[in-house]
Structures are given as structure tokens and as C-alpha cells.
Amino acid sequence: MNNLATAYNTQNISFLNLGSDNINNDSYYSASFSFSSSSYQNLYNQLVATNSKNNSINIYLLGDNCNLNGGQASGIPGNACVVGGSYSSQNGFPNAGTSVQPFVSSLVTAHEVGHCLGLYHTFETYFGSEFVNESNCTTAGDLVCDTPAESPNYRWEDNSNCQWLISLTDSNGQNYSPDPHNIMGYTRPSCLQYITGGQGTRIRSVLGSSSTLSGLIATPTITGPTVVCSSAYYAVSPSCSSVTWSSSNPNGLSVNSSTGAATRVNNYNGQVTVTATVSGGGCSTSVSQNVWVGQPGSPLSLNKNINNPPFCVGATVIASINPVGGASSYSWVSNNLSMLEASGSSTYVNLQAIASGTCTFSVTVSNTCATTGKSYFTSIQDCSGGGGMYMTSYPNPSSTTMTVSVTDSLSKGNEGFLPQPYQLSLFNHFGNTVYSVQSDLRTIQLPVGSLPPGIYYLNVFYKEAVLRKQVVIER
Ligand SMILES: [Zn+2]
């Protein structure tokens, strides 16, 4: 896996190890390797059909002393390859000399995987010989234009410093200058290092049209900010050979069609869709990203009328607003803390009435560009008829136990008991009673651990008054 990463990661191609298993069979191990022997190739085909997995590349690794010295891919492209045997670290030849190294831990494995991914040898002549001047690079050689042309006669003609031992010219009389480090050439294994950008593009293109391997390609995604204050830059990842950018509203956010450079125009505030139309290199779809330009939108009204029915002293109400376009944070504050407490860091606000009167509370919404906000009005009423009765509950939200305290300011004594009992009921948002108890305890604990999370309504009937509170169960 490390050798595959070395060869491919710079071209945004990475590999996932999906698992491995063992095949214990001497006939594969000791088979006499030969491209031209039909009995060997039959054996090879049996091997690469064993335990084969779909939508993956199956790499069969043979032992260091097997008769296959090197590797073979099942096709170009293909979904299997076999690597095994050993080579001399002195001259790179199979088993020759001393200091024998296994092929499986060399970049020869990356070379065979390259064939599976659709790469030809850099010295390929099946499509005709590639000229040094690259004039026929799309139709000859390895069909890749940023790999230098290479004669088949350069195979294994390198020294221990990966320098060529021979100098040849093409049919135009120009000197070949092949790359000894490209993994798709035949230099000694220690010289193999990488694939080129053109080979990466070819891999995506080949995989995109391969019925067995197309599942290996990731759909490109847009990289770049989701909020633009003045300018930004967009790209696609992995890269595609052709990308054309567009904006759903060029009068709000202009996007340069070739560079992906985006600029806010006309002091626009609002949402714009940035689209990349991609092709080539395995990229065949358009991808879009919603972008907010400038300051967030304006918060709208609360989703409930908190003043009707009356918002009573001691009551808690949860209200909300619709999400505000482009907002990344919300903050709620009361403008009169002796009358109202307000808290919240999202579209929800938790309001607790402390004393009667009129006051306002407000929300501030922000993104990285700017801040906007809105104020809301409330009228808090004393609903106790002058009796000074109110109810509190905590914690809110609750998860397992909710503690409820009933206060009667006309009856401060009597330890933990009120002068007369109250009826406490908890309703869910369908209006069904989920808990009910009669008690005269000033503080009572409600078991709520078995109730589904959600918004509930706590009602306490005490004396002639009804004390109401909205509560949340959360876990
Ligand atoms: Zn090869």
C-alpha cells in the first residue's frame, strides 16, 4: 500500500485496502512463468479468478522464490494483477547476482496496478512508435503526452544511478530522453518512482468508461468557501482536464469561467449557486455549490404569538424563527433582564417571564462578513390574580428527572408543603397527558427518562389558578 501511495498520491489517486486472504496452492507457486505458454496462461486465469472481488483491483502476491519473477496484469485495464519472485538489488535483474529483493515490496506492484488502471508501458509500440517531438502522442506510444517518448530498446538499459546506458534516436533523428523514474517503464525496481499528470488523467478517463472499474472513481467536488464577503477562489477536486465555471447570478457574484475566481458585485447580499461544468479525466458531471454572498438575510417573525395566550409571570416559553439565509451563528438577548430572561444560540429562544410589563428581546445573526438582527416585543402579565403563585422547573431541557417547584407567596412557612394540594399534569404536543400527579410538595421530581424527546407542556392547577410552562425533554 505504501508503494502504491508513493507512485500515485501526487496525482490525487489513492488506494483503500479492502482486505486480504490466503490462497494455498503449490501449482500457482511453482508454475513456470511464460507469456506465450497457454498452460501457464490458463493457470494465471484460474489464479486471478480465485476469491476475486468486484469493483476493486485484486492483487495476487506470490512468494519470493516462485517462478514468476516480476508481474503480470490481467488486462489494460483489468481488475487483477500478479506479482512475485525476486530480483537482484545490484542489477535489477530477476534473481541475478546477490542481495536478492522481493518484487512484491517494490514499485513493480505499482507498475502492474498501473496496467489495471489503463496505463501502457512508456515504450509501447502497439499503437505505433511515439516521436520524441510528441506530435503523435495522443495516438501512438503510451497515448500519454507528458511522458517522454521511449524506444523499447531502453528496457533494462540503466545503471545503479538510474542513468541510461544507451543513446538512441527516433525516425526523425531526434534523441530519445526517456524518464527512468516513471513506473510504467522498465528500469530496475529501485528507480521506479511516480506517474505523471497525464497518466493520472488517462487513469480517470479509462476508469470512467470501464464497466468493471468505474465504481472506483470519486465524483469531483467543489472546494472553496460557502460564504463570500468580497472575493474567493473555487476549484474542483480531484482535478478534471476541463472545467468551466458559472454563477447563477453574475450580478451578485461573478465567477471567472476559466479560473474559478469569484467576486462579489453590486454589494449583493444573498444566495448564489456556483457551478463547475467538468469533462475529461474521468469527470463527466456538473457539480454545484450554494454560496452565500455578503451579510446574512433578515430574521423574520417568531413562529408563534408569545403574547396570546398571555405570557404570565413565572412562565417559560420556547419560540423560534426560520433559519436565516447565510447565518452561521445566532445569539438571543433580553433588553430588560429584570423583566425577562432570554437565551439561545440557534433559531430557538428560551424566554422566562420574571415580572409584568412590556419589554423587548432581540436576536443577532452573523456570518464572517457582517451581522444583522431583529427585535421582538412581549407583554408579560401577572396571571396569578395577585396571589403571587408561580412555578419553575429545571433543568430545561431535562433528560431523566425534571424538578418542579410551586411557589405560593402567601404561604411561606410549612416546611416543604403547600397549604393545599395541586394537580400537576404533563402533556405532549398532541395534547395527551403523559404524566399526572396530585401533591402538596413545594418541590417534586418527575421521572421523564422514559418519555420521547420533544416539547411538552407542564400544567399545575393550584387554588383557582393554572400555571403553565413549556418544557423540553432532550437526550
Ligand atoms: Zn508492464
Whether 294 shows a pLDDT value over 60: the answer reads: yes
Residue % of the chain over a pLDDT of 70: 96
pLDDT at 369: 96
Sorted by sequence, the CB contacts under 8 Å of residue 37 that are 6+ apart come out as none
DSSP per-residue codes, 252-277: TEEE-TTT-EEEE-TT--EEEEEEEE
Report the range out of 62-71, 356-365, 458-467 with the highest average pLDDT.
356-365
Expressed in angstroms and rounded, the spacing between residue 143 Cα and the centre of ligand 1 is 15
Expressed in angstroms and rounded, the spacing between residue 111 Cα and the centre of ligand 1 is 6
Give the C-alpha separation, 215 to 447, whole Å: 51
Say which residue, 97 or 205, is predicted with more confidence: 205
Give the C-alpha separation, 291 to 225, whole Å: 7
Over residues 274-294, mean pLDDT: 83
Give the C-alpha separation, 155 to 117, whole Å: 22
Give the C-alpha separation, 278 to 13, whole Å: 18
pLDDT at 251: 97
pLDDT at 68: 83
**Residue 22 burial (10 A CB sphere; 0-12, 13-18, 19+):** exposed
- Residue pLDDT, tens place only, 313-367: 877 788 899 999 999 999 999 999 989 999 999 999 999 888 889 999 999 999 9
- Residue pLDDT, tens place only, 77-126: 999 999 999 998 877 777 766 788 999 999 999 999 999 999 999 999 99
Residue 11's Cβ-side half-sphere holds a number of Cα atoms within 13 Å equal to 21
Expressed in angstroms and rounded, the spacing between residue 178 Cα and the centre of ligand 1 is 16
pTM above 0.95, yes or no: no
pLDDT at 280: 62
- Residue pLDDT, tens place only, 437-457: 999 999 999 999 999 999 999
Contact yes or no for 332/346 (Cβ under 8 A):
no
Q: Which residue has the cell 508481474?
A: 71
Whether 299 shows a pLDDT value over 80: the answer reads: yes
Pairing status of strand 235-237 against strand 221-223? antiparallel
Whether 460 shows a pLDDT value over 50: the answer reads: yes
Expressed in angstroms and rounded, the spacing between residue 326 Cα and the centre of ligand 1 is 53
- Residue pLDDT, tens place only, 245-276: 999 999 999 999 999 999 999 999 999 999 99
DSSP state of 160: T
Expressed in angstroms and rounded, the spacing between residue 121 Cα and the centre of ligand 1 is 6
Cell triple for residue 474? 432532550
Whether 390 shows a pLDDT value over 80: the answer reads: no
Expressed in angstroms and rounded, the spacing between residue 319 Cα and the centre of ligand 1 is 68
Expressed in angstroms and rounded, the spacing between residue 22 Cα and the centre of ligand 1 is 25
Report the range out of 290-299, 380-389, 409-418 with the highest average pLDDT.
290-299
pLDDT at 386: 47
pLDDT at 464: 64
Cell triple for residue 50? 480465485
The sheet that has 58-61: what strands, in order across it?
A: 58-61, 80-84, 70-73
Going by pLDDT thresholds of 50, 70 and 90, the confidence category of residue 218 is low
Expressed in angstroms and rounded, the spacing between residue 184 Cα and the centre of ligand 1 is 6
pLDDT at 388: 66
Expressed in angstroms and rounded, the spacing between residue 193 Cα and the centre of ligand 1 is 15
Q: Is 402 helix (H, G, I), strand (E, B) or coil?
A: strand
pLDDT at 475: 85
Going by pLDDT thresholds of 50, 70 and 90, the confidence category of residue 216 is confident
Give the C-alpha separation, 200 to 9, whole Å: 10
